[in-house]
Structure 1
Amino acid sequence: MTERRAHLRATSDAYDAVVALYADLARAWLDGVPLDRSVIAAFADLARAGGGPVAELGCGPGYVTAHLRDLGLDVFGVDLSPGMVDFARAAHPGLRFRIGSMDALDLADGALGGIVSWYSVIHAPPAELPAYFAEFRRVLAPGGTLLLAFFEAEGGPVTAFDHKVTTAYRWPVDDLAELAREAGFTEIGRMLREPGSEERFRRGHLLMRAEDPRTGERTRA
């Protein structure tokens, strides 16, 4: 087994082992974070204007996927963990969920109008993250919107930390935005917020638009 495959298997196994606990902790999380909800709402407005289905990649128990559906989007979820996908399907029977890896999606080029990666690229080893962004760009139509949520490094370098499930990484927002630009995205906006009373780290959010590969420019919706 390659090192990359071993990492993906370890991440999947770690989430499979805590499905019920993780789902319970995440159930009402969006209720207490109005700034985060505002970023998701902005993404939904952009994605609706651009058209095309939306994928939540690394959807976990499916709560954000369901929230996106409630905002009027044609959305489905993808997750590496079979246990999380089983939970999401049972909890949200009207939505579609599938097992898959974010860096090797079973989707045609340009198939999506939007992607949400809600604290899901945080487990990717830093050297592998460009491949994830390249895959996001491949499956997004020109002008499609990408929303990234992550733990921000607060002025420091990329830093590993002891996430409650498995090793994760905090990223400087400028470094993460630059990786996305190199993969063919243009920044629309960003939001940083300080940690809440039950949180350890600053939260980062980036809204990006996929450039048209023929011109190297973003396409307006």
Structure 2
Amino acid sequence: MILDWPACRNARDLGGLPTLDGGRIRDGALLRSDHHAAMTPADVATVRAAGVSRIVDLRRPAELAEQPSPFAGDPIYTHVSMLMDVTDYEYPADSYGPLLDHNQGRVAAAFRAIAEAPPGGVLVHCRGGRDRTGTLVALALTVAGVGPEVVAEDYARSENCPATTMINTLAHAERAYGGVENYLRGIGVEPHHLDAVRERLREPAFLTETRAGWDAVADWYTEQFRGELAAKIWDRALLAGFAELVSVAPGPVVEVGSGPGATTEFLHGLGVDVSGIDLSPGMVAVARRDHPEIRFQVGSMTDLPVPDASLAGLVAWYSIVNLPDEALPVVFGEFHRVLAPGAPVIVSFQTGDEVRVNKDIAFHRRRPEAVAALLVAAGLEPVLQTVREPAEHPGLVEQVPQAYLVARRPSAGH
């Protein structure tokens, strides 16, 4: 995805690139650009808002002196010169093979800078955002399982960067070293660094599968269940109670897994300053079409694009049903992170122990007491736990009871 950073060239997020095994690169995990010397304070704020936890500057010291980084001295900034100060080898126009051959220690250090970064996105850049940046990004993407053709296609999105140059570079790594991973291991990159980059860049399979499933049925689902909330008396009552809780300390509220936006619209009608986040671009497109007065964006509740302690409330209305058990602690940890002290979260789901698959989407039923315990483990205080019996609604006959939990982040000093 091209990034709207006017002060930069070749700025983009590598999220969404497909891997050879059917996965994809995580959104916001790896970004690239040219240097940042022309950035204004507003531009710097935009980079920070993108969730960047480390900036890896690959330029030579002389380039830094000529065009200083506005991030120099910041804890997120790391300088790793990826080229020797004076290049003393032949540098062909159609391959970065010699760069790999003659700068091995520097390449290893740059790769480790990605692997050892704190949680969040890593932004890699050099002077032009082409040669050094392109090579390091290609190594990281290859380790994460992206095929050479896709790596080269992304490289070619930069100015004056023919895809054949990167194809030749990766072919050189294959011929001379037995592949990218063998090359990296041979220059001192440890196996745990390779694993760390894979873990950082690769999106969990359940997210890829869930996104694809909801994208495929977004329009059908919207029409099938349009108006459903109007028939759910107790759902509306609980959401109205949540809206009253939020009104005590008003502020922004986010619905995660907002789908076609019906619940978001209901809360908006109650005067809540609410927006929606959904994993599925198809669902976000439908929600934006049907509710243009409300802001919807693509994102994952496993890594919310929301600043710490910034929300007056959070809604997960039948959206944790698509999460496997092992993802719940991470997600509830995110809920705790983004909620302001004292702010509530409301969660709803179907009760039970089964995992049902419908239209290639997994739906997890859960025990209320188990979910409540995980919320507490994430540092959230219980407020309400209730279960209603199954009911019949237009287009839907519920098979099992429905659970509703309200918790809150403890107030300051508690």
TM-score, length-normalised on structure 2? 0.49
Aligned with 2:375 (options 175, 180, 186): 180
Match of 1:161 in 2: 356
Match of 1:72 in 2: 271
8 Å contact kept, 2:314–2:335: yes
- Correspondence 1:55 to 2:254: yes
Separation in structure 2 between the aligned mates of residue 31 and residue 91 of structure 1, nearest angstrom: 16
Aligned with 1:19 (options 206, 209, 218): 218
Separation in structure 2 between the aligned mates of residue 10 and residue 162 of structure 1, nearest angstrom: 12
Cα root mean square deviation, aligned: 1.5
Shift of 1:190: 1.9
Separation in structure 1 between the aligned mates of residue 318 and residue 281 of structure 2, nearest angstrom: 18
Higher strand share: 1
Aligned with 1:99 (options 270, 282, 298): 298
Shift of 1:162: 2.9
Q: Point out 4+ residue stretches in structure 1 off by more than 6 angstroms.
A: none
Match of 1:42 in 2: 241
**Stretch deviating more after TM superposition (57-66 or 3-12):** 3-12
Amino acid at match of 2:287: A
Change (3 A) 1:133 1:119: same
Shift of 1:206: 0.5
Change (3 A) 1:46 1:54: same
Match of 2:118 in 1: none
TM-score, length-normalised on structure 1? 0.91
Between Structure 1 and Structure 2, whose CA radius of gyration is higher? 2
Change (3 A) 1:206 1:62: same
Between Structure 1 and Structure 2, how many residues are aligned?
211
SS in 2 for 1:195: coil
Shift of 1:177: 0.4
Amino acid at match of 2:240: A
Match of 1:88 in 2: 287
Aligned with 2:312 (options 113, 128, 131): 113
Match of 1:137 in 2: 336
Shift of 1:36: 0.9
SS in 1 for 2:276: strand
**Stretch deviating more after TM superposition (99-108 or 160-169):** 160-169
Mind listing any 5+ residue stretches in structure 2 that lack a counterpart? 1-22, 24-198
- Correspondence 1:152 to 2:351: yes
8 Å contact kept, 2:302–2:327: no
